[in-house]
Structures are given as C-alpha cells and as structure tokens.
Amino acid sequence: MARKPKASDTSALVAVKPAEITPQPITDTIEKNYMPYVMTVIISRAIPEIDGFKPVHRKLLFTMYKMGLLSGPRTKSANVAGATMQYHPHGDASIYETMVRLTYDHEALLHPFVDSKGSFGKHYSRDMAYAAARYTEVRLDPICNELFRGIDKNAVDMVPNYDNTKTEPSLFPTTFPNVLVTPNVGIAVGMASNICSFNLAEVCDGTIALLSNPELPLNDLMDIIKAPDFSTGASILYNRTQLKDIYRTGRGSFQMRARYAYDKKENCINITQIPYSTTIEAIVKRISDLVKEGKLKEITDFRDEIDKNGFQLTLDLRRGTDPNVLMRKLYKLTPLEDEFACNFNVLIGSTPRQLGIIEILNEWIRFRLTCLTRELTFDLDKKKEKLHLLLGLGKILLDIDRAISIVRNTENDTDVIPNLMKGFSIDEVQAEYIADIRLRNLNREYILNRISEIEALQKEIADLEATINSETKKKKMIAKQLKEIRDKYGKPRITQLIYDEDVEVYDEDEQIENYPVRLVLSHEGYFKKITMASLRGNDEQKFKDGDGLHFTEEAENIHEILFFSDRAQVYKAKLSDFGVTKASLLGDYIPTKLNFDVGEKCIAAKSLAAPDEDTGTFIFLFENGKGVRIPAASYATKSNRRRLTGAYSDVSPCVGIYYLAAEEERELLLVTNNGKGIIFSSALIPLKTTRTSAGVQLITLKNNQTVVYTATEYASLFSEPPKLRKLKLPAAGTSLPEDFKIPFSQEPS
C-alpha cells in the first residue's frame, strides 16, 4: 500500500507554473488607480468651495447646528468630535484639530465660528499645544446664523452622508462672501490654495458696490476692499501695483511686518503683533542665532512674554541703541518681516479655478442668487398651500350646517373625506384640512377670521412671484442682508497699512561705525583687524611659529575685503564682520571664518571701498610664466554672495596676486626655479574682461621650469639688478646674483 506523502516531503511538492505577467501601460494605471485619489483630494478635501469651507469644516459646523449648539450652553468638544464622525469618518483627532482652528481662543480667524472655553493653543505658536477634547467646551458663535440662514428652506442641496443614513448640505447658503473673510490653506495633488482673509465690513461694502454696478472697475473695488486683514494684526507694506495683480489674477505675494512699542523706562522693545505667516518660535530661533553669531550686539536679552493678555515678545536693548534702527535691522534679518503668498484656488461646480477678487465675488453673487431663489420658492410654495386650504375653508362658510351634517350622517370614517369633496366641490387636501378642524372651531367667527387672511396671503404670493422673477429685486435683498451683517458683525481693520513713502528700510552700511584700521594677513591665513589707537606704541605683530607677515594695509571699517584662495575662488566679506583684535593676538583663521573648502588656503587679500565702482585692476601671475590683468569691478556682485568660483584661471597654480589703482603702473619681478628672472612693467600685461582668462606668456620657460617667486618691491634683494629689466614680452630669464635668496613670504600686494 502506497505511503501518503507528508507535507514535509519535498517529493510531494508540485511545481507551480508562475503566473503570466500581463503588461499594462502606465497611463492606464495612473488613470484607474491614481486619478480617483487625485480627484478626491482636490474636490473632497483640500480646496475650499464658494461658501468658503472645505468639506471637513462644513461637516463639523453642520453637526454642531444639528446638535442645537446655536443657542444654549457649551458642550464638551469630545461630544462634537464624536458626533461629526457620522458625516466625516476620519478619526476624532483630525476633526478636533479642525475645530481648534475655528475657535476664538486659537486666534486664527477674524470671525471665529466656534465660541470656545479652554486651552486651544495659538495660531502664532507651533509649540503651544491645545488641550484634549475631553477638557474643552464649545458652541457655535452667533455669526453662524448667517451660514445656516435658509438651510431649512431648501436653499442648498442636501446629499447623503458616506453610509446613506443621514443627509448633509453640499454647501452652506452663507449670506456674506465668507470665502474672502475666512483664511484657507489647502494642499491638493498638483495644485494648492492659499486664500488670505479680508475685513468683513470692507467685503460687504465691496459686494454691495458690485451688486449695484457689475462693471465696477478694479481700482474702485480696491478703494473699498483696501487690502487683506489678519487676526494677528501686524502691518502690510502697501504696494498698490502688487496688490492689484493679486486682486486681478488671484496669485501673488505681499510683505508683512510685525508691530512693536518701545518702553523707554525699561529700555526694551515689546513686539505685540507678528505676520500671520510666521510663529514666535521661528522668530526667537532666528534672533538667537543672530545673537550667537554676534550680529545682534544691540540686544542683551529677549524672552517670550505671552500670557492671557495676548502676544508679547520682549527685547532688552543695550544702552544707546536706537530702537527704530534695530527694528529695521530685525525686519531685514528675521521673520518679523515675512511674505504672504496668495493662491486663490476655489472649487466652482467641482472644478478648481484660480480667480481674482471680482471673479470670486461674482461667483458668490451667482451662488447667493440661486440660494435666495430657492428660499423664496420654498416660502412661495408654503403660502400657496396655505391659500389653497383657506379657499377650501371659505367654501363651507356659506353652509356650515351642511358640512356638520355630512360628517354626522356619514356611517364610515373613510367616507367622510369623499363626501366632503363631493358636497362642496373641493379636493382631498382641502377636505382633510376641514375634517381635522375641531368641533368648537366650526363656527362662523373662526372661519371668517381665517379666510380674512386670504387677501393678504394673495398679495404676499404676488410679491414673492415678482421677486423670484426679478434679479434686480433679489440683488437688493442680498444688499440689504449684507448691510445688516456689516452693521452687526463688522469690526475695524486690525492689520495696518504702511505705504511706500513711509517704509523705512535698513541700510547696513549706514549703521556700521566707521574708523581707520590696519589689516594684517599671515602666510598661513590668520587675519587681524586692528584699530590705529591700538597700534600706538605697540605695532609688533604676533604670529605662530613658522608663520609670518603676508599682507598688510590700512583701510576703513566700512570697506569690503576679498580673500583669494589657491583653488581659484574668491571669498567676499565686510570688514565690519570681523571683530577688532590686538597685534599681540593671532586673529581669525580665514579658512574657518569664511567656510573654505577642506584643504583650501588663502593666498592673497585686498580691501576695496566699493568693488562695483572700483576702477583698479588685479594682476595674476602663474607658475607657467603667464600673467593677466582683470578689472576689480569683475568681482562685484548684486547679491550678498560670499563666494565666487572661477575667480581666476586654474590652468596653472597662481604664484602672485597684485592690485593696481587706476592708471597705476608697477615693476614686477619674476623668479624661476632655475635661478633666473626678469623685471618688467605691469603696463605690458594685457587687460582681459573674463576672470578665467589664462593670460599671455611673460617669461620664456623650458622643460620643467616654473615661476616660483614674484615681487613688486625688490630693491632690497639686489645690490644692482644685472640686466633683468625687459621692455618686450615674452622674454628669456637672466641669471640672478649668487647672493639672491627668496624671502620667507611675498611682500604686501
């Protein structure tokens, strides 16, 4: 009898034919698998619609509305978060985070929708965490009445929730352009939205003006809706041209500045408002870094003094510091001046569109006209139903006894309605209404009082029909509502405007203290900036063992300085960036101070008052016997670049760099490794405008011969230079005297 194979027997394993792989075009994969996700993110998550809300905002606020939180006491935030999951099944944590941003205490909105109690963190701080939902309490703010007005009158479509157990509004019938009043940020797939907030009163006035004049010029609208307005206040640097582009296209950016007050008694600056786009942690970190780098010597201490009274960042000043100049410096160097980038992407009919301000308001007006028409139609239908019932009631007024007799003499209950319909020529709805009247009300007085409403009702119906059919009347109704909202909820502008003529910009050069200095660079790259007063009576320079003087000159503290490296790079710095030192100290090690590349050495330096205006030239002499002159202006830069690559040709190592003032000429000495040299005028070296030019041959070299030394001051090296001076180049070298010896380092350039 055959043995039944065990699972562990390899002989029992059956070879399985690998599944065939069917090639699938990547475009099909993207279309079937990725595109549905993309569309969901764009339409159902990240981009706000014309009512100014994303789906999560709408679901949260609608849940609170259904919970009756427009009136009465607050409830725990956890209750709201849990109830919202009936419409938004993405976890209570994300729902609660959304609620936090809508609260008073978070201070992210000009007009918060949630009246809150508890700790909800702050928009201007990323580290101030909000309390757990079980500790905080919320209810809807009264302004939410304007979000839901007409929602029970079929003003908007009600759609099923995710499991078809409830319905929710597809949009809110907001009675004001909330899309421009509530700031919104959303990042979708392939697009994003960043809508700044505007002042409610200004938006209402601008919309009213557009309702009365659909062709309102953009300039006129800008006079009404002056600029964005933020809950954090601060100031906008008002550039009308820049803002006009944003208003017209829905895209652009503008600058914001923090606001401050100087406390003369305490000698400190209190920063009370910061740009909406930054946080106090970002500001404090940047100030801390600048203090450590020695770039904010005017500040002795700084601290976060945020408390229940609001935002405050305090800066203690060094005695004699001008607070206004310091703030201009801080605006330039820290996020106390920050940029807000606008991208007005809005969903219109499930289609993302980038719109300008007038286009957004026109879309809102169209949306609001639709909502109002649906509300009025709902009211009209209700009044027509009531009129229909009253007309039926009027028919029994002529013979009340007959109506009573019909009801009394009908044997079956189901026959009452048909008998009344037949007896008075009325329809079923009217008969039902009459049959439901209580016996005590079947009297002439009651019926007369009811049917007396018919005339007023008919007039109201006629008015409603006229309004529904007239766009002008509906626009007047919208304008009236906007005026009421402006008067009830409008607030003065919080964000101030600073016009171009009032903007003060920090000029670093004006703030630098100027005084004469002596510059010293050693052969190994140690640099000193020494005041002339410090040199009096003691000008003996200290160097490391084996090091010595390579460069020295007198300059002014406001000058710039160029440091040339052995890798054909030049590093730019301001003399004011270096601290004053003494001759007895080693000074700053330049490769470390200016972040040279690993192994890179400093071979020359030169201070310039203004590189972009300098008319002098640099002479570069190379090991291969070539040389070139480059204009000093070639090293000027428009930006604050610290390093320039390609400072000179890297074809051959550089053995000498010299600066010549305009129309200055010098005699130069070149010495080769075989003991020969030449002396010639710098005027013989051609001027090239390209920094990396390899130059022309100056001295004729044979195999393995190189230039090893150059100099401009050579009188002390010879008793009488023997036939070294050359009038034409290139020239062959002449043998040097036997007593000639190359010094330790080259003399100053």
Active site residue 135: yes
The single-letter code of the amino acid at 624 is N
Which residues lie closer than 8 Å to 679 by C-beta, 6 or more apart? 667, 668, 669, 714, 721, 724, 725, 726
Instruction: List, in sequence order, every residue forming a beta bridge with 520; answer none if it has no partner.
Output: 528, 552
**Residues 6+ positions from 585 with CB-CB distance below 8 Å:** 528, 542
How far is Cα 46 from Cα 117, in angstroms, rounded to an integer? 28
Could you give the CA distance from residue 725 to residue 702 in angstroms, rounded to a whole number? 20
Interatomic CA distance for residues 231 and 600, integer angstroms: 51
Cα–Cα distance measured from residue 467 to residue 474, given in angstroms and rounded to the nearest whole number: 6
Residue 253: other Cβ atoms inside 10 A: 15
Tokens of 85: 């999951």
Asked if 611 and 639 touch (Cβ cutoff 8 Å), the reply is: no
Residues 6 or more apart in contact with residue 128 via CB below 8 angstroms: 121, 122, 306
Short-list 217, 213, 222, CA closest to 246? 222
Intra-chain end-to-end CA distance of the chain, in Å = 106
Query: What does the buried/exposed string (b/e) look like for 313-334 if buried means 16 or more CB atoms within 10 Å of the residue's CB?
Result: bbbbbeeebebeebbbbbbebb
Q: Count how many residues are written for the chain.
A: 749
Joined together, the tokens standing for residue 190 give 């392939």
SS (H, E, C) 577-593: HCCCCCCCCCCEEHHHH
**Token digits of residue 466:** 């006229």
Q: What would the DSSP string read from start to end of 77-114?
A: HHHHHHHHTTT--S-HHHHHHHHHHTBTTTT--SS-SE
Q: Residue 124: how many CB atoms within 10 A of its CB? A: 25
Question: HSE of 157 in the Cβ direction (CA atoms, 13 Å)?
Answer: 6
Q: In the numeric block, which tokens belong to residue 103?
A: 């609260």
- Quick one: DSSP state of residue 49? B
Task: Write down the catalytic residue from 34, 87, 104, 135.
Answer: 135
Please state, in angstroms and rounded to a whole number, the distance separating the CA atoms of residues 661 and 665.
Answer: 8
**Rounded Cα–Cα distance for residues 621 and 658 (Å):** 9
- Asked if residue 552 lies in contact with residue 558, where contact means CB atoms within 8 angstroms, the answer is no
Provide the annotated active-site residues. 135
